Amino acid sequence: MSSLSFLAIVLVVSAVAAKMPIFSWDTVPVYSHLCNKTGPFNDAAIQVLARFPLVTIEKGQEANVSDCCAEDKILAAAKQIKAVNSSVQVIFYYNSVLDWNQYRLHAEFLKHPELWLRNASGDPVRIPGDHSFKQPKDGMLVFDFSKQAGRDFWASDCINATKTGYIDGCFADRSGEESFRGTTLSPETAKAYAKGHDQVLQDLQKSLGDNVLVANNYLLPGVSSTMIEGFQSKEASILQLQKAVSEKKLVEAHAGYHDSCKNITNSLAAFLIGAGEYSYYGCSSGWYVDETHMDWITWHPEYDKPLGKPTGPATKEGDVYTRHFASGTVAMFDTKTNTGTINWAK
């Protein structure tokens, strides 16, 4: 039996036990999404990460140690975290477009050129990624989701990760991306690829059951979760969060690209105005954690303050949103000045 056939069978028959991350309104619901390129997380970092109910380990984990394999390094980090707190949901990061070279999946992908997405001229599509991570100068290959075999191949990496018992779900970056700058697909391929990209995520969610599949920056029917990667202290982000909540999605609100993570009041107030059940807040200007970048392992004092279930949805009077919580905490956000206020219960 070929390795490709085996991967397809794994996708069809595998499923993980249904579960969702711990969620509570008692305090601010928070998450973390990070990697440490210099090696395993130290004990101090693990103690903080074990306090988050939801943690995603990024592709750059231990990147400076060796080139392969991200699957093993993410698994090792998951084992570290769960050894301290087994209830933490650890999420496996991978990209739904780019064939990042640090994955074992990449080595297997090179053996199957029939699964590479190709342009109208028949040449393999190559796309650059986030340049804070090591990658080939000419860009990375792309999974051909216009083919069932391509969809099965990509999904198998997540399925196999969850079968370890330490990985609880997956994060699919670039979800919903259909076109690539400088690349011309044939009309037929473009249409089939777009349809296949949605389908592979929906099929993978079925295999994962109720476990988390995060479609980054994308609300897709049949997929449980999303990340708002550029969450800001602006009304547009509040509305984006409210829409995701209305569709009953688990939402990771990633602040930090446009707001301070030293004083999180503005972005946190905006989050509290729009948050629903299974909405989680995080703040960082990047994905790495090391001696100089501590955002993802910073436990802000606001995370321990009393919150309580919202007494209802936010109301808006003039330019100002207001929302009350059961503990007596009140969050306010001024859409004219893009500033927030949180009056915490004592």
Omega into 283 within 30° of 0, i.e. cis?
no
Report pLDDT for 305: 98
When pLDDT is averaged across residues 52-77 and rounded to a whole number, the result is 96
Q: Give the rounded percent of residues in the chain with a pLDDT score beyond 90.
A: 86
Q: Which CATH class is domain 3-10+27-223?
A: alpha beta
What's the pLDDT score for residue 19? 81
Mean pLDDT, residues 324-344: 98
> What is the percent of the chain with per-residue pLDDT over 70, rounded to a whole number?
95
pLDDT confidence of residue 3: 44
Q: Which contacts (CB < 8 Å, 24+ apart) does range 14-18 have? A: 14/159, 14/160, 14/162, 14/163, 14/207, 15/207, 15/208, 15/209, 16/162, 16/163, 16/168, 16/208, 16/209, 16/211, 17/209, 17/211, 18/209, 18/210, 18/211
Convert the pLDDT of each residue in 148-190 to its tens digit: 999 999 999 999 999 999 999 999 999 998 877 777 899 999 9
Overall size of the chain counted in residues: 346
Q: Return the pLDDT at 34.
A: 97
pTM tops 0.85, yes or no: yes
Q: How does residue 13 score in pLDDT terms, banded at 50, 70 and 90?
A: very low
Cα–Cα distance for residue pair 40/77, rounded to 1 Å? 7
Residue 15 has pLDDT above 80, yes or no: no
Q: What does the domain layout of the chain look like in residue ranges?
A: 3-10+27-223
At 252-275, the pLDDT tens digits run 999 999 999 999 999 999 999 999
